[in-house]
């Protein structure tokens, strides 16, 4: 992409309405624009990162054997009356009437709709286990939408639903989700710690929230500092292997880590004092096992091996795809701007031409652009006729991992300058070496 053709409306001043750094930086970097309270347009740069995050979620879900699909955002109230949640959900639900005066709603989650799909098409235990998921816009009429995309009213969420014959199988699905989520967040450069949580209006007994530690987080959390030493890394996972998924689940959930809803002072006090931590966290996902809550209410049964009908065991599992942009920036920025982790960066490297219009500098930039592209990378070339200082400030603000600076003086010696956004370190090298380092 060439900056001269890009739509990147960066702001020079800090917007007054942004109370936290990720919101401020997303506005300043031209990623989003508010259209009304808690509802945003995603401008090209923001949309690009949103897609990168979405792609990682899709890849990891499909590795775990879960099937992507798509359900509508506007749903009939009837199914929600069947489960009893039409009344229970309260003011967070956006209720709509169509021209025939029928009650509709904008989906805040989709347990009812997926259960209806399931019961319409699956009738035998032989079709289980089954896990379906979607990445779709949700709407919750939050009392206090704030912090930009972190607490929007319209937000993008991955929601997945497992259907199993037995509790044991459903708990395997739970573990499978936990494992796949660990890998998903790590690929985004995030440490998201599974913590025991409360199930809220979804219902059920077993649930973990995934929290990114950050001072601006809305949850209060209590944990054993040893949990922050755990990393998932490059493990080979067989998602059908119940014992393997169970042991990873135990590895990551046995040490004390809870949100304030389930915090127990007496148990916490058994953690050695020097390892006890109280902090704030951002909820970036949650997994639930809720047994037959919906299948009983909505009569979702299959014929078991003995011919008798059994209500299926279910769980649901969410990732806050749009909230993740905010969480990643909260975890990775400095006073100049965003520092994108490699896994989600909108472009891999920025090319800064110090003397636009200089024949040699222009040609060297074009060549770099070509070579980076040929290497399968996406460069963002600042080809505008602007001061170098302004170009550097924009690159620092938008936070690409690498900047390649090209100018007539360096080119005389056959070199360009490669700068790491994270460390700020600059090294002179040939253009070919720079391409090889960015790869």
Closest-CA residue to 66 (of 182, 202, 177, 169): 177
Taking 3-state DSSP, the helix, strand and coil percentages for the chain, each rounded to the nearest 5, stand at: 40, 30, 35
339, 190 contact by CB (below 8 A): no
Q: Which does 176 bind (CB under 5 to 8 A by kind): ligand ATP, Mg ion, none?
A: none
Closer by beta carbon to ligand ATP, 284 or else 312: 284
Residues 159-188 that bind Mg ion (CB under 5 A): none
Q: What are the structure tokens assigned to 159, written together?
A: 């929601």
402, β-bridge pairs = 349, 420
Contact stretch for Mg ion (CB under 5 A) within 3-11, 124-132, 154-162, 285-293: 285-293
Q: What are the structure tokens assigned to 271, written together?
A: 């953690």
Q: Which does 323 bind (CB under 5 to 8 A by kind): Mg ion, ligand ATP, none?
A: ligand ATP
Closer by beta carbon to ligand ATP, 88 or else 168: 88
- 207 belongs to the binding site for Mg ion (CB under 5 A): no
Least spacing, CB of residue 257 vs Mg ion, in Å: 15
Closer by beta carbon to Mg ion, 210 or else 381: 210
Q: What are the structure tokens assigned to 130, written together?
A: 């089954």
Closer by beta carbon to ligand ATP, 211 or else 398: 211
DSSP string, 223-264: EEGGGGG----S----TT-HHHHHHHHHHHHSS-EEETTT--
| CA distances (Å), origin 390, targets 181, 339, 396, 397 | 39, 18, 10, 11
Least spacing, CB of residue 85 vs Mg ion, in Å: 14
Closest-CA residue to 312 (of 144, 132, 154, 435): 132
Contact stretch for Mg ion (CB under 5 A) within 236-244, 286-294, 340-348, 412-420: 286-294
Closer by beta carbon to Mg ion, 134 or else 286: 286
Question: Which positions touch ligand ATP (CB under 6 A)?
Answer: 109, 140, 142, 151-152, 155, 157, 200, 283-286, 318, 320, 322-323
Closer by beta carbon to ligand ATP, 152 or else 431: 152
- The C-alpha angle with vertex 280 and arms to 152 and 261, in degrees rounded to 5, equals 85
Least spacing, CB of residue 150 vs Mg ion, in Å: 12
- 286 belongs to the binding site for Mg ion (CB under 5 A): yes
| CA distances (Å), origin 16, targets 13, 20, 23 | 9, 11, 11
Least spacing, CB of residue 69 vs ligand ATP, in Å: 18
Residue nearest Mg ion, CB atom distance: 286
Closer by beta carbon to Mg ion, 34 or else 286: 286
Q: What are the structure tokens assigned to 54, written together?
A: 């979405």
Least spacing, CB of residue 152 vs ligand ATP, in Å: 4
Q: What are the structure tokens assigned to 392, written together?
A: 């550097």
Least spacing, CB of residue 140 vs ligand ATP, in Å: 5
Q: Which does 379 bind (CB under 5 to 8 A by kind): ligand ATP, Mg ion, none?
A: none
Binding footprint of Mg ion on the chain (CB under 5 A): 283, 286
């Amino acid at each position: 992409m060439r900056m001269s053709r890009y739509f990147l409306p960066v702001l020079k001043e800090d917007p007054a309405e942004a109370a936290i750094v990720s919101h401020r930086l997303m506005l300043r970097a031209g990623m989003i624009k508010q259209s009304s309270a808690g509802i945003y347009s995603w401008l090209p740069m923001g949309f690009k990162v949103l897609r990168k995050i979405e792609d990682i979620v899709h890849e990891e879900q499909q590795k775990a054997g879960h099937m992507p699909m798509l359900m509508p955002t506007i749903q009939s109230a009837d199914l929600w009356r069947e489960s009893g949640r039409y009344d229970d959900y309260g003011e967070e639900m956006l209720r709509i009437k169509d021209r025939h005066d029928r009650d509709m709603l904008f989906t805040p989650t989709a347990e009812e709709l997926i259960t209806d799909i399931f019961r319409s098409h699956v009738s035998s235990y032989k079709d289980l286990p089954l896990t379906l998921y979607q990445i779709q816009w949700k709407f919750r009429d939050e009392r206090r939408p704030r912090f930009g995309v972190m607490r929007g009213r319209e937000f993008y969420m991955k929601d997945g639903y497992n259907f199993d014959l037995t509790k044991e199988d459903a708990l395997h699905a739970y573990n499978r989700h936990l494992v796949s989520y660990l890998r998903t967040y790590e690929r985004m450069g995030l440490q998201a710690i599974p913590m025991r949580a409360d199930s809220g209006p979804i219902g059920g007994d077993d649930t973990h929230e995934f929290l990114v530690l950050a001072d601006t987080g809305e949850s209060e959390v209590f944990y054993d500092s040893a949990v922050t030493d755990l990393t998932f890394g490059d493990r080979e996972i067989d998602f059908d292997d119940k014992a393997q998924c169970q042991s990873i689940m135990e590895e990551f959930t046995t040490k004390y880590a809870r949100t304030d809803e389930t915090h127990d002072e007496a148990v916490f006090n058994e953690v050695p004092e020097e390892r006890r931590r109280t902090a704030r966290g951002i909820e970036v996902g949650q997994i639930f096992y809720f047994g037959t809550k919906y299948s009983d209410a909505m009569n979702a049964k299959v014929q078991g091996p003995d011919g008798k009908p059994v209500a299926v065991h279910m769980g649901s599992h969410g990732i806050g795809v749009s909230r993740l942009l905010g969480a990643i920036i909260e975890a990775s920025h400095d006073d100049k701007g965003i520092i994108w982790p490699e896994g989600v960066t909108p472009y891999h490297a920025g090319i800064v031409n110090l003397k636009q219009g200089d024949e040699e500098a222009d040609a060297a930039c074009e060549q770099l652009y070509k070579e980076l592209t040929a290497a399968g990378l996406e460069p963002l070339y600042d080809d505008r006729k602007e001061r170098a200082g302004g170009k550097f400030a924009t690159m620092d603000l938008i936070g690409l991992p690498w900047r390649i600076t090209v100018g007539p003086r360096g080119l005389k010696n056959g070199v360009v300058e490669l700068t790491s956004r994270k460390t700020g370190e600059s090294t002179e090298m040939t253009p070919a070496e720079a391409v090889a380092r960015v790869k």
